A and B are shown apart, each in its own frame.
Chain A
Amino acid sequence: MKAREWTLAALLALLMLYAWRADPSFVSLRAQALLSTHIWELAIVAIPMLLIVIAAGIDLSVGSMFALCAVVLGLLHERGVPIGWAAIAAMAAGALQGAINGWFVARLKVHPLLVTLGTMAAYRGIAEGISTARPLSGYPEGFLALSHENLLGVPIPGWVFLCLAMFAALVLGRTVFGKWTIALGTNESATRFSAIPVARVQWLLFAGCGLACGIAAVLTVARTNTAKADMGMGLPLEAVTAVVLGGAKIEGGSGSVIGLVLGLALIHETREFVSWHWKLNELNLIVLGALLIVSVLIQRVFESRNRVASRPA
């Protein structure tokens, strides 16, 4: 682990220690499992966001893909499509949306910020249009269990996240695709000049991100028993915040899954503790914003010290 990850781990430990002193019930496993229900959607979406940021991209459309997938699920269910098929269709819709983003980025070589700014409006707009902004609810018990059942004390969405995180860590550290992703984020033209199929890498990254949004949407609909076009408004910026807090450089080329998991945990525990202990839900946003700025400031201080020490001639 790098300095950044140790810092996050230490901060997290300090927070939990303080929480345990102030309010032992917060640290109990049951409370943690209960509280964790809110974090999994964000966590699942943050993983592909990490990979995209490492490849020097960004995806602002994740919240909109999430909403459109949920609405697709809700509408299909409303039309009487079996819930299993509806869920598969929702995830496929996610992959398709991501693939469209990827097509713009990879084939047309448009800056991902622009592409996903456009598709962010378009996907949510389509979600609003096809659902006329109605909430779609009333799902079968078996489906709702997807987000309410625990396995070994961890909710099913938590297992989904763990599997995805391990998969991402392996891809990043051990596969050709992962090396290509890092190379792409470090220097795109040098990557093209290394005969690496840049377009395919970008295309897969964005399509994968769409798929993850679909998975998150299905789990969320199962949790809340509702699908609505205004879901996940804050998702893109929260996911980017978690990724950056986890130590990934927004310019691309670096970042780790461990850092992301720690960053997510820190965001989550801070938010939950603030509202658990002080009953102040409004402070959530302040905490999130301050965490992001302060953590990056600390990183800058470390970096500038290192730079002075190892400046090349």
Chain B
Amino acid sequence: MPLIEARGLEKSFGGVRALAGVDLTIQAGEVHAVCGENGAGKSTLNRILCGALMADAGVVLLDGESVAWRGVREAEVAGVVIVHQEPTTFPDLDAVDNIGLMRETSRLGGFWLCRAFMLDEARRLLAELGERFDPTEPLGRLSPAQRQMVSIARATSRECKLLILDEPTSSLSAPESEALFRVVDRLRSRGVAILYVSHRLEEVARLADQVTVLRDGFTVWSRPIAEASREAIVHAMVGREVLTPEPGSSSAGEVVLEVRNLRRNGAYRDISFDVRAREIVGLAGLVGAGRSELARSLFGIDLPDSGTVSLDHEPIDLRHPNPAIGLVPEDRQHEGLHLSLPIRDNATMAVLRRLSTAGWVRSRDVAAESAQLIARLAVKTRDDRNPVNSLSGGNQQKVLIGKWLATQPRVLILDEPTRGVDVGSKAEIHRLVRHIADDGVAVVLISSELPEILALSDRVLVMRQGRLAGELTGPGLSQEAVMALALPVDASSKEDDLPSRRTLPREVFVAAFLALLLLVVGIVNPSFLSVANARDILVKVAPLAIVACGMTWVILAREIDVSVGSTMGLSAAVLGLAASTDRWGLPPPIAALLALGAAAGVGLLNGFLVAKARISSIIVTLGTMTLVQGITEVAMGGRWIENIPSSLRTLGTGGMLGVPWAIVAALSVILASAWLVGRTAFGRRIVAIGSNPDAAASLGVPCDRIRIVIFALTGLLAGVATLFSATQLQVIESGFGRGMELMAIAAVVVGGTSIRGGRGSIGGTAVGVLLLGMLGTALIFLRLGPSAVYWERAVQGLVILAAVLADALGRRRSG
């Protein structure tokens, strides 16, 4: 009986048929390759098999039983796991958490993670894959290959019956791919079935037991590899013969590009070479050898540290892109194209200046230019005003190349021009590149596919660990010769060759600055360091600390909440109205509960709107901020609230063993938050969402529920902060809490938490709160005169800017 069998799978998206009847049978312990051009239905098939999509018709049988998974999680539990083309990892989490996410080993129902156990498990799994790097390093610092290995370790950490590998080698270099192949062999011998999707037919030949070819949503045929020759597979995929590109016939011209002793620390060094007109120079090497970094520098995006580049014997300024040098970047979706903009705008994006008069765009010329490019490159589209993401991958790539052809460059750098492009378009692009060179352009071709480099290049430069390892031409040019140069001489020397800096965490800097401030103010005025003053300052910053903890979770999850200040205002109004003897006069505990409930309610509303209505959190909380502020004003009817019972006011003024309640509460919240973020499954999931929201969702992290919970908790904390701060006052005004949201965000950011989510800590936030909160008092104690108090906000602003500046400069230094 086959392990998994799919029969007659059909799937349509809004009238477009992606699958029109696919059959697939996979045996246990078999590597089953699936080949097909882009759009043949491979990814739809994958997504159905791994539970991410439901088929419209047809059945999937696992061990002979019909299954219908309603999500990736259910498929994983049943033993079907997918590793996506782009490793879906979390750059801010370490390998331990990446492997263990959503299957954490924990006690107390997820509230106590067993880190030591998970660490051992991660080490063991990685060792099985032949990897020995430190699993506590954040994944963002690892190489793409190591990240891929972490994904595979994750996939094999549970009992896995079918492993789906979707283009697993697209970001791997040759030896890394070889390591992956060994892993595949080992898994096969353990009886795991592997569904292997790849455009690289050499890999299919090397690995597969069985090959299935898809075309236009149908299964063309499925055969054992022995009966499936390369030509047969290609023929079945495209339904026609594919031409192999002819190597260049014309002779190279004048030297156009001269690179001399170019160096960028941490990326490449000692780079010198020439490129002539009508010449294609291949740039080969492993991923991470510095090829793309060199391309970015030549294009004028990353400034080299030393060296010169000349164009037609004139040195050029590398601080800005030079109009005569074009770059087709490797990441088409993120760096190459503006996916949602029209094809026309994309094609003319780099030449708008030429198509304009004194800054005014000549629309007719733009249309003409676009039409001309589309015709020249044979881009298949009906209307060039459609967005470019309506095109297939191959046609998108043609538009991207056309965008640079339009600039009539002297030098064109192509970085992985056929990545993720189907076989048919690949051949067209190869011909196109040859034509571009024949038209007199000096072409630099970067590719990780050796056959592509060999077929197209007149000369091949090989990079190894940031240096040029050698040049190959004519008869000496072979795959073996390139690999011999590209492979590291000594793997251990890599560290000192390309130093990567590790910077101290920001908390340390902020804490040092705080200590310095304490010292300076303490010397000027020793009473600043007295216990009584410390107590006053801590009581003053306690509410901010409580609110900022909530804000830290929100920002860690890549969201923001600007409504906390208004929420505090509402909470204070409810507290005052409920408790005040001349208003409702309810018992203080009930008043406190109502105040907390109102605050949590606002948070819950935020959470629902963000998670369920999918409105960005800044808009949602901007709306609720204004709304809640209005409700507060209406509820208070333009009057202050007085006569708050003294039993309630002890929350703000009383204490335990001489420590005010506010400080006790703030410390408890800080400790609880730190534990929540670092030590619970929930906290790790928050970071995962902030680090990579799409990947988190695809792994079955309950993102919506988590977002709702953190917004609700943040609202609740705003209520808690209110309980300990509004009760310090004699009267409650409607403006209570205003501005708190921005102070809280500022404290979180000063404490080193990234506004882009995923990275940060509660400890940093606590330090940030202390620093921002004590500036005002410090100004007064510095005895600068009576007007010093007016400068508090300016100093706060400057501290925030200094933190931002330090961050930016630190980022720049470490590249």
Q: How far is the CB of B637 from chain A (nearest CB, A)?
A: 8
Q: Within 8 Å of chain A (Cβ to Cβ): is B511? A: no
Contact at A129–B794, with CB atoms within 8 Å?
yes
Contact at A118–B794, with CB atoms within 8 Å?
no
Contact at A125–B797, with CB atoms within 8 Å?
yes
Contact at A110–B807, with CB atoms within 8 Å?
yes
Q: Cα distance A180–B85 when bound, in Å?
A: 32
Q: Within 8 Å of chain A (Cβ to Cβ): is B805? A: yes
Contact at A292–B13, with CB atoms within 8 Å?
no
Residues on B with C-beta less than 8 A from A296 are 613, 615, 619, 623
Q: Give a binary string over A77-120; 1 marks a CB under 8 Å from any B CB, 0 the rest.
A: 00000000000000000000000000010001111011101111
Within 8 A of B (CB), among A166-208: 174-177, 179-180, 182-183, 186-187, 189-197
B634 CB contact (under 8 Å) in A128, A286, A308: A286
Residues on B with C-beta less than 8 A from A124 are 793-794, 797
Residues on B with C-beta less than 8 A from A110 are 804-805, 807-808
Within 8 A of A (CB), among B332-353: 334-341, 345, 349-350, 352-353
Contact at A289–B630, with CB atoms within 8 Å?
yes
Within 8 A of A (CB), among B308-345: 320-321, 323, 327, 329, 334-341, 345
Return the chain A residue nearest B334 by Cβ: A189
Among A8-16, A209-217, A237-245, the one that faces the other chain is: A237-245
Residues on B with C-beta less than 8 A from A283 are 630, 634
Contact at A282–B356, with CB atoms within 8 Å?
no
Return the chain B residue nearest A175 by Cβ: B359
Q: Cα distance A118–B768 when bound, in Å?
A: 14
Contact at B359–A195, with CB atoms within 8 Å?
no
Contact at B793–A125, with CB atoms within 8 Å?
yes
Contact at B338–A104, with CB atoms within 8 Å?
no
A289 CB contact (under 8 Å) in B339, B625, B804, B807: B625
Return the chain A residue nearest B39 by Cβ: A313
Contact at A117–B609, with CB atoms within 8 Å?
no
Residues on B with C-beta less than 8 A from A117 are 742, 745-746, 749, 800
Q: Within 8 Å of chain B (Cβ to Cβ): is A35? A: no
Contact at A293–B620, with CB atoms within 8 Å?
yes
Contact A186 B634, CB 8 Å, known A179-B352, A289-B626: no
Q: Cα distance A293–B794 when bound, in Å?
A: 33
Return the chain A residue nearest B403 by Cβ: A194
Q: Cα distance A57–B626 when bound, in Å?
A: 21
Q: Within 8 Å of chain A (Cβ to Cβ): is B487? A: no
Q: Within 8 Å of chain A (Cβ to Cβ): is B562? A: yes
Q: Within 8 Å of chain B (Cβ to Cβ): is A312? A: yes
Contact at B626–A292, with CB atoms within 8 Å?
yes
Return the chain B residue nearest A125 by Cβ: B794
A293 CB contact (under 8 Å) in B339, B624, B797: B624
Return the chain B residue nearest A191 by Cβ: B338
Q: Within 8 Å of chain B (Cβ to Cβ): is A22? A: no
Contact at B622–A237, with CB atoms within 8 Å?
yes
Q: Within 8 Å of chain B (Cβ to Cβ): is A311? A: yes
Within 8 A of A (CB), among B493-508: none
Q: How far is the CB of B496 from chain A (nearest CB, A)?
A: 29
Residues on A with C-beta less than 8 A from B131 are none
Residues on B with C-beta less than 8 A from A313 are 13, 16-18, 39, 44
Q: Within 8 Å of chain A (Cβ to Cβ): is B390? A: yes
Q: Within 8 Å of chain A (Cβ to Cβ): is B801? A: yes
Q: How far is the CB of B805 from chain A (nearest CB, A)?
A: 7
Residues on A with C-beta less than 8 A from B512 are none
Q: How far is the CB of A296 from chain B (nearest CB, A)?
A: 5
Contact A128 B790, CB 8 Å, known A111-B756, A115-B804, A293-B624: yes
Contact at B622–A118, with CB atoms within 8 Å?
no
Q: Cα distance A291–B638 when bound, in Å?
A: 23
Contact A183 B349, CB 8 Å, known A282-B638, A311-B14: yes
Q: How far is the CB of A93 from chain B (nearest CB, A)?
A: 15
Q: Give a binary string over B785-796; 1 marks a CB under 8 Å from any A CB, 0 the rest.
A: 001001111111
Q: Cα distance A251–B614 when bound, in Å?
A: 13
A190 CB contact (under 8 Å) in B323, B335, B795: B335
Q: Within 8 Å of chain A (Cβ to Cβ): is B127? A: no
Return the chain A residue nearest B786 by Cβ: A132
Interface residues in A, total, Cβ within 8 A? 70
Q: How far is the CB of B137 from chain A (nearest CB, A)?
A: 25
Residues on A with C-beta less than 8 A from B341 are 182-183, 186, 253
Within 8 A of B (CB), among A289-313: 289-290, 292-293, 296-297, 300, 308-313
Most buried by B among A104, A285, A308: A285
Q: Within 8 Å of chain A (Cβ to Cβ): is B627? A: yes
Q: Cα distance A282–B749 when bound, in Å?
A: 33
Interface range for B: 35 or more
Q: How far is the CB of A111 from chain B (nearest CB, A)?
A: 5
Q: Cα distance A122–B746 when bound, in Å?
A: 12
Contact A176 B359, CB 8 Å, known A183-B345, A308-B14, A313-B18: yes
Contact at B353–A176, with CB atoms within 8 Å?
yes
Q: Give a binary string over A277-289; 1 marks a CB under 8 Å from any B CB, 0 the rest.
A: 0000011111111
Residues on B with C-beta less than 8 A from A193 are 299, 301, 327, 329, 335-336
Contact at A292–B622, with CB atoms within 8 Å?
yes
Q: Cα distance A308–B349 when bound, in Å?
A: 30
Contact A132 B790, CB 8 Å, known A121-B796, A293-B624: yes
Q: Cα distance A250–B620 when bound, in Å?
A: 11
Residues on B with C-beta less than 8 A from A288 are 626-627, 630
Return the chain A residue nearest B12 by Cβ: A313
Within 8 A of B (CB), among A231-288: 237, 240-241, 244, 250-251, 253, 282-288
Contact at B793–A286, with CB atoms within 8 Å?
no
Residues on B with C-beta less than 8 A from A310 are 14
Residues on B with C-beta less than 8 A from A190 are 334-338
A286 CB contact (under 8 Å) in B16, B619, B631: B631
Q: Cα distance A108–B524 when bound, in Å?
A: 35
Contact at B630–A176, with CB atoms within 8 Å?
no
Contact A176 B633, CB 8 Å, known A117-B742, A121-B794: no
Contact at A282–B634, with CB atoms within 8 Å?
yes
Contact at B390–A312, with CB atoms within 8 Å?
yes
Contact at B618–A289, with CB atoms within 8 Å?
no
Return the chain A residue nearest B329 by Cβ: A193
Contact at B361–A176, with CB atoms within 8 Å?
yes
Contact at A250–B619, with CB atoms within 8 Å?
yes
Q: Within 8 Å of chain B (Cβ to Cβ): is A123? A: yes
Q: Within 8 Å of chain A (Cβ to Cβ): is B72? A: no
Contact at B792–A187, with CB atoms within 8 Å?
no
Return the chain B residue nearest A307 by Cβ: B14
Return the chain B residue nearest A133 by Cβ: B790
Contact at B618–A250, with CB atoms within 8 Å?
yes
Q: Give a binary string over B629-641; 1 marks a CB under 8 Å from any A CB, 0 the rest.
A: 1110110001000
Residues on A with C-beta less than 8 A from B473 are none
Q: Cα distance A213–B356 when bound, in Å?
A: 30
A251 CB contact (under 8 Å) in B321, B359, B616: B616
Q: Cα distance A288–B627 when bound, in Å?
A: 7
Q: Cα distance A186–B345 when bound, in Å?
A: 12
Q: Cα distance A12–B528 when bound, in Å?
A: 58
Contact at B361–A179, with CB atoms within 8 Å?
yes
Contact at B801–A118, with CB atoms within 8 Å?
yes
Return the chain B residue nearest A199 by Cβ: B320
Contact at B345–A192, with CB atoms within 8 Å?
no
Contact A237 B625, CB 8 Å, known A119-B797, A132-B787: yes
Contact at B627–A290, with CB atoms within 8 Å?
yes
Within 8 A of A (CB), among B732-747: 742, 745-746
Additional A-B contact list (5), CB under 8 Å, known A122-B801, A175-B359, A190-B337: A123-B797, A187-B337, A196-B349, A251-B616, A289-B624
A sample of 8 inter-chain contacts (CB < 8 A) reads: A110-B804, A285-B626, A285-B633, A292-B622, A293-B619, A296-B613, A296-B623, A311-B16
Q: Which A residues have a C-beta under 8 Å from some C-beta of B? A: 58, 60, 104, 108-111, 113-115, 117-126, 128-129, 132-133, 174-177, 179-180, 182-183, 186-187, 189-197, 237, 240-241, 244, 250-251, 253, 282-290, 292-293, 296-297, 300, 308-313
A-B pairs, top 3 by smallest CB distance, nearest first, are A125-B794, A122-B797, A289-B627
